[in-house]
Structure 1
Amino acid sequence: MTGPGSPARPNAVKSADRTVELLEVLSASERPLTLTELHRELSYPKSSLYMLLQTLVARGWVELDPTRGTYGIGVRALLVGTSYLDHDPVVRVAIRVMEQVRREIDETVHLARLDGSDVVYLAGRESEHHLRVVSRVGRRLPAHATSPGKALLAARGPQEVDAILPTRLAPLTPNTVVDRAALHAQLAGFRAAGYAQEREENTPGLGCFAVALPYRTPVLDAMSCSVPLGRLDPEHERQVVTALLHGAHTITELLRQFGR
């Protein structure tokens, strides 16, 4: 997929490319954006960008705040995203097992999928603790800074990992591993252990563990569990890892039975 402002793919329809890029920029932004900000981000002719926005507003894919003159992602995008999850057989199988894992350890459990150099969170089951991690389906984070991303990268060789990741590994917190040699050493350890983990690499105060779901090759999905560090002692860590490994085995066997 081309990034904002990059040339269209060969044989691509320019208007379709621009529509998708515009929606991706809006969905990735933490706040609605003005026409000027979108023009700066995408470098489309301002008149063409305005007309495209008006079309998407009329169709419900983009929402306009007329008092501020800002544009944000619309409800139609939510409906399409929900449809994707409703029809994904992996999500349907995994969600039942994730609920069992959540009941067993009472921590927030996620299903994530590798998409380029990022992971996208497809489903979640939240802990019942007062202090808990809130599940955010659709969230996208760099694979190198998350435990599900590390688990999925560890399922690949060093050359493939380098081909997936960007040249510069951006830090999300001061604890994010951004040195490539250190990351490769970390992944080698996770590969040997059979699961991945991280401490405050993307969110302060949180630790996370993850296991890849090897029901297909290449491996694209992983199940993870996030735990506030305040209650993460060695015994609870053992419980979390054991539950994840068992749950991942169950999901993998079920998907293989269904021919996935």
Structure 2
Amino acid sequence: MKINKTASRVLDILSLFAADNEPISVSRISEALKAPKSSTYEILETMVAKEFLEFDPNIKKYKLGIKLFEVGTSYLSNTDLIKDTRPYLENLVKRTGETAFLAVPSGEEIVYLDKVEGSSSIRTTASLGTRLPMYLTGLGKAILAANSDEKITEITKDMKYSPVNENSIKDFNSLMKNIRQTRERGYAIDDREREEDVYCIAAPICDYSNQPIAAISVAGLVTRMQEENAKEYSVYLINYAMELSRRFGYKESKLYFLYAN
């Protein structure tokens, strides 16, 4: 496959903005691309002319432009997964008062695609587009648990475990123990493993090939997500995850049917 150098650099620039999530100078972009500043500047100015980037003269840095917002909005409105899942997230919020999320797997990480805030909104760093390691989130563990042990080993083979606090999973053996518990329970739990005081329950969405394509979750303050509440909410969560899975061709009677003991 022949890759066009300029097109590749444009995409690398957009990926850099996604990673940094803040305005960036031409020097920083040139450095990251290992490209001359002059040619980098020409690409950036073309992207500004096409409204994919904007230049802020006050700080002398570039930021994402309106065209990218339009493209992103078009993507979201035409993505069946997001459109199909949104009513279920809204129903989860109505039933629980907590915040509901949708995420998809991307290598050893998850990417947050949608979020519906409840009346008791929580402070969380998980905004749309955020990437997080699977082992640090209920959503990620829900997805992992729907894979075979062999597939989990493959997905996590290069994973670097960097525990955020004493509740975080610290190694592969601890992860697999947690996954076995998830399969037996029927849903995954994140008990303050990444964010202090936040408790989350999550379940996978599987497709016709029995593979997890996404996960949905309910998250709230641990003081509100008592054991009784979590069990009640898990019934709604599992039912909605099953309904969504059936929309994508899943035929089994349980979410973890293939791998649960």
RMSD across aligned positions (CA): 2.2
Structure 1 residue 201, shift from structure 2 partner? 2.6
Q: Does 1:228 align with 2:230?
A: no
| Aligned residue number for residue 142 of structure 2 | 151
Q: TM-score, normalised by structure 2?
A: 0.86
Residues paired across the two proteins, number: 248
Secondary structure at the counterpart of residue 184 of structure 2: helix
1:219-255 CA-partner distances (Å, limit 9, x unpaired): 1111111111121211111122111111112222334
Q: Does 1:238 align with 2:221?
A: no
- Unmatched tracts of structure 2, length 5 or more: 251-261
After superposition, the Cα gap between the structure-2 partners of 1:159 and 1:46, relative to the gap in structure 1 and judged at 3 Å, is farther
| Aligned residue number for residue 248 of structure 1 | 241
After superposition, the Cα gap between the structure-2 partners of 1:130 and 1:183, relative to the gap in structure 1 and judged at 3 Å, is closer
Secondary structure at the counterpart of residue 249 of structure 2: helix
Contact preservation (8 Å) 1:108, 1:133? no
Equivalent residues in 2 for 1:117-132, closer than 5 Å: 117-129=108-120, 131=122
After superposition, the Cα gap between the structure-2 partners of 1:114 and 1:130, relative to the gap in structure 1 and judged at 3 Å, is closer
Contact preservation (8 Å) 1:97, 1:250? no
After superposition, the Cα gap between the structure-2 partners of 1:73 and 1:170, relative to the gap in structure 1 and judged at 3 Å, is farther
Q: Which of 190, 206, 210 pairs up with 1:214?
A: 206
Equivalent residues in 2 for 1:186-205, closer than 5 Å: 186-205=178-197
Q: Does 1:76 align with 2:67?
A: yes
After superposition, the Cα gap between the structure-2 partners of 1:179 and 1:135, relative to the gap in structure 1 and judged at 3 Å, is closer
Q: TM-score, normalised by structure 1?
A: 0.86
Secondary structure at the counterpart of residue 237 of structure 1: helix
After superposition, the Cα gap between the structure-2 partners of 1:46 and 1:123, relative to the gap in structure 1 and judged at 3 Å, is same
Contact preservation (8 Å) 1:113, 1:121? yes
Structure 1, 36-45 or 120-129: larger mean CA deviation = 36-45
- Structure 2 letter corresponding to 1:190: T
Q: Percent identity?
A: 27
Within 2, Cα distance between the matches of 1:207 and 1:139?
A: 18
1:3-26 CA-partner distances (Å, limit 9, x unpaired): xxxxxxx52222222111110110
- Unmatched tracts of structure 1, length 5 or more: 1-9
Secondary structure at the counterpart of residue 52 of structure 1: helix
Within 2, Cα distance between the matches of 1:29 and 1:222?
A: 26
Structure 1 residue 134, shift from structure 2 partner? 8.2
Structure 1 residue 31, shift from structure 2 partner? 1.9
